[in-house]
Copies of this chain bind each other. A is one copy, B any other.
Amino acid sequence: METVSTSKAYGGIQGVYRHASTATGTDMTFAVYVPPHDEGARLPVLWFLSGLTCTHANVMDKGEYRRTCAELGVILVAPDTSPRGDDVPDDDAYDFGKGAGFYVDATQEPWAKNFRMRSYVEDELPALIAAQFPMADMARQGIFGHSMGGHGALTIALRNPDRFRSVSAFAPIVSPLHCAWGEKALGGYLGSDRMAWRAYDACALIEDGARVAEILVDQGDADGFLVEQLKPELLVAACEAAGIDLTLRMQPGYDHSYNFISTFMADHVAWHAERLGR
């Protein structure tokens, strides 16, 4: 692992790191904020998965998480959203290819070789964090994300309930099976067998028996993607049927941007910190 940059922030260190990923076959860049802490302390790890078009840098620049992470002693890890590089296949659209990995392991060509963001985020990067950041207590992990990254957080948490103690999301894609973004991405990466998509759909995972104790979701009611792409009512229905404690907060006047995310970031970090222990 190579250190790209480190910078002191709120008493801790905001770092950017790069490594050669075996999962994606590319170099991958990610951001880690380590809050101020006592020598030998072990800190919970909160994963933030970003949305379409983002890299590790968007939430690092605009997410406003460091203040609360510093106050509550939480490490925040922000991976990229896809493999990168000139040799990686791409698509001209913003919602497919680079910047749009959808946290799946692709099975279709030409994507299958590099677009393995599920394996990367679920397995490879956690192992690297555990090895390189000795203060990271991997027994206390939470996960959250925005939009496509909210989809990633929900699906990864539902598939790994023993790994993650807490999961939340900002304006998540709750069911790729039921929106145009999902149809395009899962169809492209996984092929036309929609049964294969169900492992990457939070609502379908719940319908198929996956469980977490509780979920926190904030959703702006002025979000231009709300009706056609995000459809939180599908998650409400799935959680009600499954007995999952979902808190869905419709936030009046908020859009899909980082102005929305940053406004409720402190709430989410604190919510996770409470569940991850100190």
Contacts and interface: CB of A to CB of B under 8 A. Distances in A.
Interface stretch (A6-14, A85-93, A178-186, A228-236): A6-14
A218 B222 CA distance: 38
A259 interface: yes
Contact of A9 (B67, B222, B262): B262
A3 to B, nearest CB: 14
Contacts of A7: 255, 257, 259-260
Q: How many copies make up the complex? A: 2
A263 B9 contact: yes
B8 A222 contact: yes
Interface stretch (A58-66, A109-117, A135-143, A237-245): A58-66
6 contacts: A8-B222, A9-B260, A9-B263, A10-B262, A14-B259, A61-B258
B262 A66 contact: yes
Interface string A206-238: 000000000000001010000000000000000
Contacts of A220: 8
Interface of A: 7-11, 14, 61-62, 64, 66-67, 220, 222, 253-255, 257-260, 262-263, 266
Given A14-B259, A257-B7, A259-B7, A64 B64 contact: yes
In this complex, which of A254, A259, A266 has the most chain B Cβ atoms within 10 angstroms of its Cβ? A259
B62 A61 contact: yes
A66 B258 CA distance: 12
Contacts of A258: 61
A153 to B, nearest CB: 22
Given A7-B259, A8-B222, A8-B253, 10 more contacts: A7-B260, A8-B220, A8-B259, A9-B259, A9-B263, A10-B262, A10-B263, A14-B259, A61-B62, A66-B259
B260 A8 contact: yes
In this complex, which of A8, A254, A258 has the most chain B Cβ atoms within 10 angstroms of its Cβ? A8
A66 B67 CA distance: 13
Contacts of A260: 7-9
A272 to B, nearest CB: 19
